[in-house]
Structure 1
């Protein structure tokens, strides 16, 4: 019986996009000759900013705390349901259909609560990322102009590059000053209004 699976798997999936790039995607043994830095071509790696900036680290740490709180909230439901299920299994002929229906209702309620909390965690993380993006955008524009960029390419689209073209460190440094951290709690997901 799958009950309350918001544990480590959900936390991992929520925070996976803020983790450092894996060894498979990171440049480990780049070319000896990196080629020239192409004037006007700049590269930015948002995932590295989220992983290495102080605000990114604070969001990740807080999301881990919130996920732990949710696990603590949901754990008693799982224990109670498991105990009730075992009681029904051992009860034999004394167990009524009402007992089985009550257990089924409790399982459905627990699953609904679990889904609600998971959605709240996802929404909370997306809102924090939105705030970080809002803070990064003007910093990125400033660095773009200072470096004389004619084009800014997403690092995920580039396999190998001359590090002199990467503006990520400059943006992280400025973000650490402008927005060192965020304080937040789990947010309820807004109710979607029906389309008219």
Structure 2
């Protein structure tokens, strides 16, 4: 089963913060155009909270991979039944299969079993993606006030992720400052396993607002 790396959360974090006008600048009619740059990849990989998040997501990933591996015997059994049915229904039309109660029962049972197995596989992958998304959201929420505070102290109206620009003046790189302030907050990540249904419920709630 393919699962995403914890570092995938960086894109969502950067997208939520980068290129966002400071509220005070908006009130001033965007008269200032100062820019600061943050290496969000480095913030996630080097900060204590980011490392804690990655370690905890690694534990979730290992747990899910173990569960996915335990499905291997069922996957093999399903493939064997698929092959057996293919042999049994060779040269039979759809109508002939439906009219053969024995074969039709096997086909229906197989389809139900295969669909249930696929949902289990998708559920495991969805659990990891949901767990990663919620962990990334927590880190983003911790970073936002810090980045905005640095923006205000620098008189900046825009923050750009260094990964989206080819060159910039090192003087506008505030990554070290953001890192230091995040670490000074001494926040631990609460990353843990979350079922995909939790994220689905959150999305439905957001859509209904």
1:68 corresponding residue in structure 2: 62
1:15 corresponding residue in structure 2: 6
2:52 corresponding residue in structure 1: 58
Q: How far apart are 1:162 and its partner, in Å?
A: 2.2
- Answering whether residue 50 of structure 2 is matched by residue 43 of structure 1, we say no
Which residue, out of 125, 129, 144, partners 1:122? 129
Report 1:64-143 matches (<5 A). 64-83=58-77, 85-86=79-80, 89=83, 97=103, 98-143=105-150
The structure with the greater share of residues assigned to helix is: 2
Q: How far apart are 1:167 and its partner, in Å?
A: 0.6
Determine if contact 1:81/1:106 at 8 Å carries over to the other structure.
no
TM-score (norm 2): 0.65
Q: How far apart are 1:89 and its partner, in Å?
A: 4.6
TM-aligned CA distance change 1:130 to 1:18, over 3 Å: closer
Superposed CA deviations along residues 78-97 of structure 1, whole A, max 9, x for unmatched, are 2123035337757977xx63
Matches of 1:100 and 1:82 in 2, distance apart?
17
Determine if contact 2:36/2:160 at 8 Å carries over to the other structure.
yes
After the TM superposition, which of the residue ranges 153-162 and 81-90 deviates more from structure 2? 81-90
Matches of 1:175 and 1:133 in 2, distance apart?
11
Which residue, out of 166, 169, 176, partners 1:162? 169
5+ long unaligned stretches in structure 2:
11-32, 89-101
5+ long unaligned stretches in structure 1:
1-5, 20-38
Q: How far apart are 1:136 and its partner, in Å?
A: 1.0
Determine if contact 1:139/1:174 at 8 Å carries over to the other structure.
yes
Q: How far apart are 1:175 and its partner, in Å?
A: 0.9
Name the SS of the counterpart of 1:182 in structure 2: coil
Determine if contact 1:143/1:171 at 8 Å carries over to the other structure.
yes
State the aligned residue count. 166
1:31 corresponding residue in structure 2: none
Matches of 2:159 and 2:74 in 1, distance apart?
54
- Computing the radius of gyration from Cα coordinates, the structure with the larger value is 2
Determine if contact 2:135/2:190 at 8 Å carries over to the other structure.
no
